[in-house]
A and B are shown apart, each in its own frame.
Chain A
Amino acid sequence: MSQYQLQKLLYDFLNGRVGAAPGVRAGATGDRGGPDPTGYDLTEEERAAASGADVRSLYQLGVHPVLINAFARAMGYQRTDYASMLKDLEPRTEARPRWRSS
């Protein structure tokens, strides 16, 4: 697992330093690929998640949520789109914060 490298790839893609993966159609419109992972030290699972703009897998691989949000938007997804992709991944918590009155 190379979480840092994966996040760096997305960051570089969002900042125009990395182009789209050739021959891949991904994202909301399918008119281009996710980032080209060439040169980044990634596992096969990470390469596939990035180039295929697989937001659910990227989240499961530990990509920071702020990067998830920006990347999803860059790939044409609305927040409601990625919310439904991630829907069942919310960890359950029994914690009760101090501001909760009931």
Chain B
Amino acid sequence: MAQLVGTFVSSHAPMMAASVESAPPEQRRNFLGGVQQAARRVREQGAEAVVICSNEHFTNFFLENFPQFCVGVGASHWGPVEPWLKIDHGEIPGAPELAGQLAGQLPAEGFEPSFSHELRLDHGIMTIYHSIDPSHRLPLVPFIQNCAVKPMPSLRRCYQLGQAIRRVVEGFTGAERVAVVGAGGLSHWIGVPRVGDIDVEFDHWFLERLERGQLDDVLDLPDAELELAGNGAHEIRSWLTIAGLAAPSTAKVLAYEPIAPWITGMGVVAYDLEPSAAGAGGAAAAAKGA
């Protein structure tokens, strides 16, 4: 049975790899310091594979068939797709047994993700994967989520997905230690007139609730209200997936900086998991609304 290690979530603005120097030095130092601290925990705790939950940016899917969730089950993946991202481009090893366990066992947990043997990876996953393993040798399962195209899965559904992912990964016998990580958000606007704005008040409100483990207000947010923190704020679905996975453990904020040149509220949280919480306390929390 696999143990979950190194659980964390981070924002993933492409500029953190494409033009890192564009951020004010202190903000850059604080945010990237948080990312490095979280990534180091994954390495030091001996993860043999990593599952990264992040959102689709029309990199793999278009509107003729846009999955709410998709597991990358391939033996390898290719990325990053953005030629301007300052990360080595090439093949990333997959973890097909673990991915197959997720695709095969999540239906019994009430989730039916699509699956793909040929996923391409963009900044959403690659910035965080590269932070965890700059050598690109750690086997990766990309777990793509729809955080952009309406209708999207509800926030509560994403939280429950995290609980289900935990049960499946903890039942996996092909590795002893697996990291499950989230990437996306926080507040930002993209491709719209308000591009460049950051809603610091929303970011603090959200992070405080993650720290307290009091998520009712968040999980009940209608999409129209969430979008008042930017159309990119829908990416908190990945944060809530990891919050569900980690429950009843609560988040520790490692860093938060509203980095204007990166047009995003850039945060990092980490979790110290209590054993097998999702199977007992986590499920109970979801049943009563987290």
Contacts and interface: CB of A to CB of B under 8 A. Distances in A.
Contacts of B17: none
A97 B202 contact: yes
12 contacts: A8-B63, A11-B58, A64-B58, A64-B148, A68-B192, A69-B190, A83-B193, A86-B192, A90-B193, A97-B202, A97-B225, A99-B229
Contacts of A99: 201-202, 205-206, 229
A86 B263 CA distance: 16
Interface string B215-234: 00100010011001101000
Contacts of B224: 95
A87 B63 contact: no
A interface, over-half SS: helix
B229 A97 contact: yes
A97 B193 contact: no
A1 interface: no
Contacts of A59: 191-192
Contact of A90 (B194, B202, B225): B194
Interface-centre pick from B62, B192, B231 (highest chain A CB count, 10 A): B192
A95 B225 CA distance: 8
Interface residues of B, number: 26
Kindly list the 6 A-B residue pairs having the minimum CB-CB distance in the complex, ordered from nearest.
A65-B191, A99-B205, A68-B191, A69-B191, A90-B193, A86-B193
Given A7-B63, A89-B193, A99-B206, A66 B229 contact: no
B62 to A, nearest CB: 5
B192 A80 contact: no
A70 B190 CA distance: 10
B196 A79 contact: yes
Interface in A1-37: 4, 7-8, 11, 14
Interface-centre pick from B62, B149, B191, B193 (highest chain A CB count, 10 A): B191
A45 to B, nearest CB: 20
A100 B201 contact: yes
A50 B193 CA distance: 19
A14 B63 CA distance: 15
Contacts of A101: 201
B41 interface: no
Interface in B169-192: 190-192
A98 B193 contact: no
A28 to B, nearest CB: 15
Interface in A54-86: 59, 64-70, 72, 79-80, 82-83, 86
Interface in B226-250: 228-229, 231
B195 interface: yes
Nearest to A8: B62
Contacts of A66: 57-58, 148, 190-191
Nearest to B209: A99
B193 A70 contact: no
A67 B201 contact: no
A70 B201 CA distance: 28
Contacts of A68: 191-192
Interface string B138-152: 000000000011000
